[in-house]
Structure 1
Amino acid sequence: MELAGGSGPPFLEVDRIISFCGLHTTQVAGRSVLVLGTMRFRDAVELYDAADGSPINSIDVGSRETNYGNLRTLLLPYPEQPLLLGGFSYRPIHVWQIPDGEVVAQWKAPGPWEAATVHEQGSVTTVAMAVEGTVRQLDAFTGREAGERLHAREGKSLFRRNTSELWSVASSGPYLLAGSSSGDVWQWDAGSGDVVAVWKEAHSGPVLRMTAHEVAGRPVLATMGSDQAVRVWDVSDGTQLGEDVWLSFDMPRPAFAAGGRLLIAGDHELKQVDVLTGERGPVLARWEQPNPERTEFDYAIEEIAVGDMAGVEVVFAASTAAVWRLDAATGEPV
């Protein structure tokens, strides 16, 4: 597969991946590292040199026979030593050093979890983990409770019928936010555990993904729902910024780029939206299969990550067989 109108092979070709479990970029001792969480017969975290694509390390996470559920990974971006947190539902959570893969912590998740985000709670790095109808604030290195348990329920009722299942979670300043199966977005003060707001019917179906960022000094949240809409919100007051962005594909992958742009990947395109105005920019990149009759692989873009290469902002876009490295401003291969 090649970029439409572009030339040359992808930046990196990989063995066929059943499912992606995270794509991250980080800096280690001045070296740019690309991290892929992969699910195959044996699940692994694979590390590559983000400059030349050469393999650095592969961390074996286990086999499909022993792992339960999906592998999920989070980057803990410590400047002196980046760490990667990953695990399965009801399986031990591991924290690995990058790039050597040494295990520095291990603990068990409190229940089946759908999503998680990193949140700084005072001097403690916490993982805010969506577990059914709650967000659990856990010490990233011990798994112990490190803050209030946040409930997505109406009033004081403890009945499950009044509890929304949470499918996505994000951190923004002092707030934690979660998207529910009913389409609502819940916002809590992470310190006190108080509900700040409930954004009713933010989507007409489950909120599948969300990501938070600060644009021009303004905290914003991008949400993606099963209704195939992307919406951007001002976290400070819950108002929507710009117009709805409607997609033709399910499960979009978002990432923020410089200048207040939201990059959205899915199917065979990489789109861009100005988060403050809601205006769509030109499609940043589009992929086409060189041989339409070749159907054994699906080349849809599964994950994206934004990083820095020698002062140039780049976006890594990954399918189940290859990774492209593009200039985040122009979409040209770099």
Structure 2
Amino acid sequence: MATAVVEGRPCAVTGGRAGTVRLWDLATGDQVGEPLTGHRGWVTAVTTAVIDGRAHAVTSGRDGRLRVWDLTSRQMVGDPLAGHDGWVTALTTVVIDGRLHVAVGGRDGTVRVRNLATGQQVGEPVTGQGRKTSRMATLVIDGSPHAVTGGQYGRVRVWDLITGRPVGEPMTGHGGRVWAVTTVVIEGRAHAVTGGGDGTVRVWDLTAG
């Protein structure tokens, strides 16, 4: 699930097992319009972005293809893009050199960065997370885009999306799979907040590791 403001209304965007994408008005709880269709199989990852001043969603699933949706017109934008060789398990957007990209985490544990306008992969795949990159968020550290990922074995890692290399050692503490990742700036320092299968929520100072 992800959120967006569509024509002034705060909305949630969800994906389901039937391959549909649905938009919900968070003020009323009502579904907005008909489901968006096009995926073959389970929609496993959803993120949102503003493109040319309009709210869009980027979705993917078992087929590994990315689809971009204009949430105002409720139409798919362009053709599906290659996202991953297999299941996509995490999506998030990031701006690199002033252009919107999407970071795509896969069941094989890799993260790939693609230019949303062209669909082209940027750099080499990020590897080393281990199987099943479950969740991912992005942020800017020292002017460079980074990703924070959580995986099957409770490890939290930080990656430089330009070089494709890990930053520091894995951060450990969760007793099970990391199911949620987000980022936040606290007192001028980048932090990650993660939730795990052990029922704990942990806050990490990404500078200190």
Normalised by the shorter chain, which TM-score bucket?
Answer: 0.7 to 0.9
After superposition, where does 1:65-84 map in structure 2 within 5 Å? Answer: 67-78=40-51, 80-84=53-57
Partner Cα distance (2:28, 2:166) in 1: 47
Match of 2:102 in 1: 127
Number of residue pairs matched by the alignment: 202
Partner Cα distance (2:202, 2:46) in 1: 25
Partner Cα distance (1:204, 1:140) in 2: 35
Question: Could you tell me how far 1:92 is from its partner in structure 2?
Answer: 3.2
TM-score in terms of structure 2 length: 0.83
Q: Which runs of 5+ in 1 are unaligned?
A: 1-21, 154-162, 239-334
Among 164, 171, 177, the alignment partner of 2:138 is 171
| 2:9 is the alignment partner of 1:32 | yes
Letter of the 1:203 counterpart: H
Structure 1 residue ranges (4+ consecutive) displaced by more than 3 angstroms after TM superposition: 50-56
Contact 2:54 2:72 in 1 (8 A): no
Partner Cα distance (2:50, 2:41) in 1: 27
Partner Cα distance (1:151, 1:98) in 2: 33
Contact 1:57 1:100 in 2 (8 A): no
| 2:153 is the alignment partner of 1:182 | yes
Change (3 A) 1:54 1:165: closer
Match of 1:102 in 2: 75
Partner Cα distance (2:28, 2:41) in 1: 34
Match of 1:265 in 2: none
Question: Could you tell me how far 1:142 is from its partner in structure 2?
Answer: 3.5
Partner Cα distance (2:81, 2:168) in 1: 32
Partner Cα distance (1:42, 1:195) in 2: 33
Contact 2:41 2:61 in 1 (8 A): yes
Change (3 A) 1:47 1:229: closer
Partner of 1:198: helix, strand, or coil?
coil
Change (3 A) 1:59 1:141: farther
Partner of 1:178: helix, strand, or coil?
strand
Match of 1:5 in 2: none
Change (3 A) 1:54 1:168: closer
Contact 1:179 1:208 in 2 (8 A): yes
Deviation string 1:235-282 (CA, Å, 9 cap, x unpaired) is 2221xxxxxxxxxxxxxxxxxxxxxxxxxxxxxxxxxxxxxxxxxxxx
After superposition, where does 1:1-334 map in structure 2 within 5 Å? Answer: 22-28=1-7, 31-39=8-16, 43-48=20-25, 50=26, 56-61=32-37, 67-78=40-51, 80-105=53-78, 106-111=80-85, 112-131=87-106, 132-152=108-128, 163-173=130-140, 174-238=145-209
Contact 1:117 1:170 in 2 (8 A): yes
Contact 1:203 1:225 in 2 (8 A): yes
Deviation string 1:182-230 (CA, Å, 9 cap, x unpaired) is 2211211111222211224231222121111223322110011111111
Deviation string 1:57-101 (CA, Å, 9 cap, x unpaired) is 324325xxx732334221113471111111212253211112211
Greater relative CO (CA pairs within 8 A, separation 6+): 1
Contact 1:45 1:58 in 2 (8 A): yes
- Bigger Rg over Cα: 1
Q: What percent identity do the matched residue pairs reach?
A: 21
Question: Could you tell me how far 1:141 is from its partner in structure 2?
Answer: 3.4
Q: Which runs of 5+ in 2 are unaligned?
A: none
Partner Cα distance (2:64, 2:104) in 1: 14
Question: Could you tell me how far 1:144 is from its partner in structure 2?
Answer: 1.7
Partner Cα distance (1:129, 1:228) in 2: 26
Letter of the 2:47 counterpart: L
Change (3 A) 1:92 1:216: same
Contact 2:6 2:71 in 1 (8 A): no
